[in-house]
Amino acid sequence: MADSTLSGALEFAKMLAAGGFRLDPMESAPSIEDIRQLAKKRLPTMAFDIVDGASNHEITLDANTRDLREVRFRPRWLTDISTIDISTSVDGMDLQRPYVLGPLGLQRMIGGEGELGAVRAAGKANIPFTISTASNWAMEELADEATGPLWYQLYMYKSPKIVSNLISRAKAIGAEALVVTVDVPLNGKRYRDHRNGMSIPPKITPRNAVQAVRHLNWTRAIMKPPTIGFRNLAGEIQGDNAVSHQEFVKRYLTNLTLTWADIEDVRRQWDGPVYIKGILTPEDAQRARNVGAQGIYVSNHGGRQLDSTPSTISVLPSIVDAVGEDMTVVFDSGVRTGDDIAKALAVGADLVSIGRAWGYGNAAGGEKGVLRVLDILDEELELAMGQLGATSIDALDRGFVDYPEAWHGTGLHREPESGTTADGPSA
């Protein structure tokens, strides 16, 4: 009887496996939202909100994803889709897919290995990994783990010496592109972080002690050496005392005198492509072009800076109209699906940057979680292109989508910038 029961159980297990049943929830997660839920379950609130949260009332965060849903596809049936090619090329760089892993800092705050697992996953997938200045591992430590292309994201700190040193180190590790973030003149106020008492390095306080006990794997991970901090700035500005993220940025990052002339100086120090991240208007896109940048990121920092800025997809058409012929346009903020990638490319972006999506994967399962995110996005992008009848990235154009005419500025009241001339805005 026992043998019969065991045999029956084994046969049942085989049937489940043949039908696609997986015990590992990561392997069976069908969407980025499912992976987000796995991350939420694994982490204490303070850590999850670092990835998931945004500034103030999170109006811009919501708009980013909501407006992407406003874009509607216009498929072309009876098209030969036997071969679909998602590879592309930008500024002399050949890419296997039309998106990159964007910069995310503070990844050790979610436990595990922080950015180390993510950079290894990027190497296995041969996708560019953008090292954040705010990473919890030094760029050299991440480069030692990397087997794929690296980009480097630069914050323009108060000290020109620190900025020049970061640029020199990014050159030394072989970073192919420099992404200069300009939308942090002051740090956004993030209500979730304030409510959670988030600090760097994290502290166990009466406010979060219960959750720390409930998530012991996370607690053990954040207590492992080295102390969590901004290791790209070790020996420069990093102290030993825990400070809030807001206070850290105010004390060390905020540069109230930064102008476009400083970007020209960065351009002189970097030989490869320079992309300006944080562009939300055609006027600033033109300024970026005027100072010699190869490209721009149409980005609102994922809603984590100035709240109530427009969604990035809603400003993408007017920015592409203004500079798309002259510059590489990278779309950032709000991407959660392969459909979103296809929509941004069809509206006019040359490339897409993925942020929170890979952050959720890293939070849910480290290297394995990031690889699953990439699998999901690749599958969804190829499926969307096949259903649209677009067999290559170059084939995706505005003929495949509908979106509000207001996104070109029609019907909106907008006063021209003071100082704007017939030749365009001055830098």
Active site residues: 301
Residues 305, 58: Cα–Cα separation, whole Å: 10
Helix (H) or strand (E) holding 200: strand 199-200
Residues 255, 66: Cα–Cα separation, whole Å: 33
Helix (H) or strand (E) holding 373: helix 356-388
Asked whether 94 and 393 are in contact (CB, 8 A), the reply is no
Residues 131, 137: Cα–Cα separation, whole Å: 9
Question: How far does CA 128 lie from the centroid of its chain?
Answer: 12
Token pair recorded at residue 217: 């794997």
Sole residue written with tokens 């055609």: 282
Task: Write the CB contacts of 316 (distance below 8 Å, at least 6 apart in sequence).
Answer: 298, 329, 331, 344, 347, 348, 349, 407
Question: In the chain, what is the straight-line distance between the N-terminal and C-terminal CA atoms, in Å?
Answer: 84
| Amino acid present at 192 | R
Phi-psi region of 286 (alpha: psi -120 to 50; beta: other; left: phi over 0): alpha
Residues 383, 299: Cα–Cα separation, whole Å: 26
Helix (H) or strand (E) holding 154: strand 150-155
Residue 342: closest CA among 391, 296, 299, 385:
385
